[in-house]
Chain A
C-alpha cells in the first residue's frame, strides 16, 4: 500500500508543480499514473503496515478500486491530451493522482475519522481542476461553493462518527443518538455526490468544470467517502439496531433522497441540452442508488453496494470521456446541434451503446443484480416495484442521444472528421544536405532522428518517423480518441458483467477489529482482510 501512496502523492505534487510547462506536466502525470497502476497491482490484500500508531491495510477491494481509478484515469488523460491539445486541463493528472492517493489512504486505514479526513483532502483536489482555464468570477464562485460542500459534508460525517466511537453507557439505548449520527453520515454522502436536494452546487460544477474533470469531481472523490460510510453504517449502526430500534423516520428520509435522485436525476439528464449537464445528472442518478444502500441498514447490502460503486465509477468515467470526445470532434456539446453524430462516428456510437449497457444492464448482469438487491433491501412494497422500474429511466437520455445521433447529419456534423482511417501523405524525398553531416560515432548525431538518418547511409531510406507519427495522429485524432473511449466503455461493460473480480472483491468480509466502542458491537475497517 505504501508504494502506491508514495507514487500517488509524489506524482500529484510533481505534476502540479510542473503545470507551468504543460508538456512536462502531462508527461510526469502520465508516467505517475502508470507507476500508480503498477503500484496498485502490487497491493497485497491483508498485508498490514504499522504507521504512526495506526495501521494501513491492503485489501482486494481497495486494490481493484485503485486499479480501476489509475487505469481509467490514464486513458482519460491520454484521450484528453490528444483530443484537446494545448487546451486540455493540465491540472487533471495531478488532481486525479491526489484524489486516488487520498482514496487509497481512506480505504486502507481502520479509523473512521482518519478515513473521512483523507476523503476531504482528496475532494479538495477536485477544486483545482474545476478552475482549468483562465478564471472568471463565475468559475471561482462555483469552485468556492464546491469547497463549501466538501467542508460541510466532511464535518457532518466526522461529527457523527466521533459521537458514537466511544462507550456510550445508557445513551446506547437512545435511538435518537444513532438516528442523528446515521442521518448526518447519509446527508454527508448525499451532499458530496450532489444528490437531490443537495444538487445545486453539483449542477453549477457540471457547468463550469471541464467535462473530462467531472468523474474526479463528482464520482471518484465522493465514492471513497461512500465506501467509508457504508463500512461505518455496517459496523456502527447495524449492530445496535436491535437495541436502538429500526430508525424508521431516519431511514424514510434517506430513502426519499435516494429515490428522488434516482428518478429526478434521470429526468433532469433527459431534458438537459448540454451534454455536460447530462453527465452530471447521470452521476446524481447513480448516486441515488448509493444513498439507497445507506438506507438498507442490512448487512446483506455490503457486497452489492460496493459492487455498484465500482460500476458507477467506471461507467460514468467512460460517459464523461465520451462527452469530451463528442465535444472535441463536433465542436459543440449541445444535443440539438448534434444531429447525425452517430452516423458520422460509429465508434462513438458503439461506445455510447456500451456505456448504456453498463449503466442500465438487464436482469442477470452483475451490476443490475447489485442495484436490484440494494433497492429490494432499502424499500418495501408497493414502491419497490416502481423504483425497480425506475432503473430503466436512463434509457430516456440514452435514447434521446441515440435518436439525435441517427438523424440526418447537419452541415456542421458532416463537416467534422469521420471515423475512416487516413494515411498521411508520403513525405518529400529526403535530400542530403550539402553541409557536413554529423559523425555516426558522435552522441549528438543520435540525439536527433533526422541527423541520425541523414548521416548513416543505410538509414537514409527511412521516413522521418516522428513527423509521420505526428501527422498520422493529427489526421486520425477523432478516431484515436474514439477508440480510447471505446476501451473505457468496454471496461465499464466488463465491470458491469462482474469482470475484474469485482463481485468477489466487493463481497470480501470486513475484518473484526479490536478496540471499538461498545456502540460498535462489530467494529469494522474500511478494507477487507
Chain B
C-alpha cells in the first residue's frame, strides 16, 4: 500500500464522516470540501497538475454554492441519528471490505486505496440517501455517493482521462449548485433546518410527531 494514497483516502473518508455527522452545516460543508478536494489525488498515476487544479477549482465551487445558503451561523442540519462513532465504524468496515475486494475479481488498473475510499463513501451515503429528511444532508449524501462511485471507478479502471476529469468537475459543480438551490428553496418554503422530507409533505398533518420517528 502507498502511505500517501492511504492518507489521502483516510482524509476523504473522514471528510465524509464529518459531512454526514455534523449538526453545524458549515462544519458539514467543510467535511464535504475535504472529500472533494482530496478525491482526485487518490489515483496512481496522479493526474496532470492542470487536471488536479481543475478538480480543485470545481470542488471549491461545488462547496461554495451551498455555503452561500448555509453560512448563517444558525444553520443547522439534522446530523446523524446514529452518531459519528457509528458512522466512522460503518465507513471503516466498508473501507476494509473495499481493500479485501480490490479489483472486484480481476486485476485492478488503479490503486486499492481508491476503491477502499469509494466503498466507504458509498456506505456512508446510504443513510442520507435512503432515510434522508434534511435537504442538505440528502444532497450531501448524493454528492458523496457520486464521489464514492467515481473513486471505485478509479480503483478498478485506473486514472481517468483529462476529459473525464473535466466532465466530473462540472458534474460536482452542478451537484453543489442543485444542493444549494434545493436548500434555498427549503428555507424559503419554511422548512426548519431544511427538514423538508420529514414526512410532512406526504403524510397527514394530524399524524403524531412520534409516529413519524421524531
Contact = CB atoms under 8 A, between A and B. Distances in A.
Interface string A128-147: 10010011111111111101
A137 B189 contact: yes
A143 B132 CA distance: 13
Interface in A85-142: 105, 109, 111, 113-114, 117-118, 120-121, 124-125, 127-128, 131, 134-142
B5 interface: no
Given A105-B167, A111-B161, A171-B105, A155 B201 contact: no
Contacts of B201: 137-138, 141-142
Contacts of A55: 163
A143 B161 contact: no
A166 B145 contact: no
Contacts of B132: 144, 148
Instruction: Give the interface size bracket for A toward B.
Output: 35 or more
Interface stretch (A156-164, A332-340, A487-495): A156-164
Interface-centre pick from A54, A158, A162, A168 (highest chain B CB count, 10 A): A162
A364 B162 CA distance: 46
B191 interface: yes
A140 B170 contact: no
B150 A158 contact: yes
B88 interface: no
B196 A158 contact: no
A147 B200 CA distance: 19
Interface string B168-204: 1011001101110110011011110000110011100
B10 interface: no
A474 interface: no
Given A155-B146, A162-B156, A147 B139 contact: yes
Contacts of A145: 197
A165 interface: yes
A113 B51 CA distance: 17
A168 B106 contact: yes
B174 A124 contact: yes
Contacts, number: 152
Interface string A154-187: 1100110011011111110010010000000000
A162 B157 contact: yes
Given A54-B162, A121-B167, A144 B138 contact: yes
A51 interface: yes
Interface in B4-31: none
A121 B170 contact: yes
Given A54-B161, A144-B182, A117 B106 contact: no
A113 B160 contact: yes
B152 interface: yes
A482 to B, nearest CB: 33
Contacts of B122: 155
A442 interface: no
A167 B105 CA distance: 11
Contact of B163 (A53, A125, A174): A53
Q: Which 10 A-B pairs have the closest CB atoms?
A: A54-B163, A162-B153, A151-B142, A52-B162, A135-B185, A53-B162, A141-B201, A155-B149, A52-B163, A138-B201
20 contacts: A52-B166, A113-B153, A117-B150, A120-B171, A121-B167, A124-B178, A131-B181, A135-B186, A140-B182, A143-B182, A145-B197, A147-B179, A148-B138, A151-B142, A151-B146, A154-B146, A154-B149, A155-B149, A162-B153, A166-B108
Given A54-B163, A150-B142, 5 more contacts: A121-B167, A147-B142, A155-B148, A168-B105, A171-B106
Interface of A: 51-55, 105, 109, 111, 113-114, 117-118, 120-121, 124-125, 127-128, 131, 134-145, 147-148, 150-152, 154-155, 158-159, 162-163, 165-171, 174, 177
